[in-house]
Amino acid sequence: MALETHIRILLGALTNASIPEAPDPHVIRTFEQRFTDAREVDRLLKGSTTFQNGDRSALQSIRNLRVQIAMEPASNIAIAVSRVEERSLRLIFSTVHSFGLPEWRPDLIGGTPTSLYNGALESIALWTFEQAATSFAYTHLSPNLRYIQDTALIQKLYRNFVWSYLRGLVLREQKEQGSVSRALQENKAYKSRSEVRKAKLSIPKLYSDY
């Protein structure tokens, strides 16, 4: 739950029906011109100590996130995000912007998980998650901190959520616009009917048959 919440913060996707936006192709080209090797990404990511100071772009990203939270008062995801402290949010968004990226937008359709661009976004997500989680940003979600530095496990969870679940949403929506939202509403209606049915079955008989 903590890793999923972290990814949703990066995306600004605060409901289960939120569809990740595609990145601007110009942003990808510019990024790949600036960084030609994954090691360059890693050096910048782990060698700088300025991310925590924040910048104007990061502060604007935080303001935008707060607006989205206010627009989704009933969303459990939005509620979880609202409890993450400002300092951790600054770290997250300052790190993204330090790479010249206006937003954290994986290329789920045109790219692969191991492309330079998508690989960099994965590294950014996992590094900022580790920093935020070990700073107790997600204490309210009760993460097991013993596994935070298990890179193989966290990477597996990340790729499953991003490249299976989120990519699946994008493909479904691409095939039929509005289908994700409709499916969510239908699922809610089904669960509601099931709960009513269970409640009725649990009511004991008041009369016996003669």
Q: 106-147, pLDDT tens digit by residue? A: 999 999 999 999 999 999 999 999 999 999 999 999 988 888
Is 161 within a domain?
Answer: yes
Which structure tokens are listed for 50? 């300025």
DSSP character for 199? H
Question: What is the total count of domains within the chain?
Answer: 1
User: Does residue 133 sit within a domain?
Assistant: yes
Residue 192 covered by a domain = no
Model confidence pLDDT, tens digit, residues 162-196: 999 999 999 988 888 877 777 666 555 434 444 44
The whole-angstrom separation of Cα 124 and Cα 92 is: 8
* Residue 199 forms part of a structural domain: no
Q: Read off the amino acid at residue 104.
A: W
Token pair recorded at residue 108: 């789920």
What distance in Å separates the CA atoms of residue 115 and residue 119, rounded to the nearest whole number?
Answer: 6
Q: Residue 69 sits in which domain range?
A: 2-176
In a domain, 95, yes or no: yes
* 125 is a domain residue: yes
Q: Is residue 200 part of a domain?
A: no
Confirm whether 21 is domain-assigned: yes
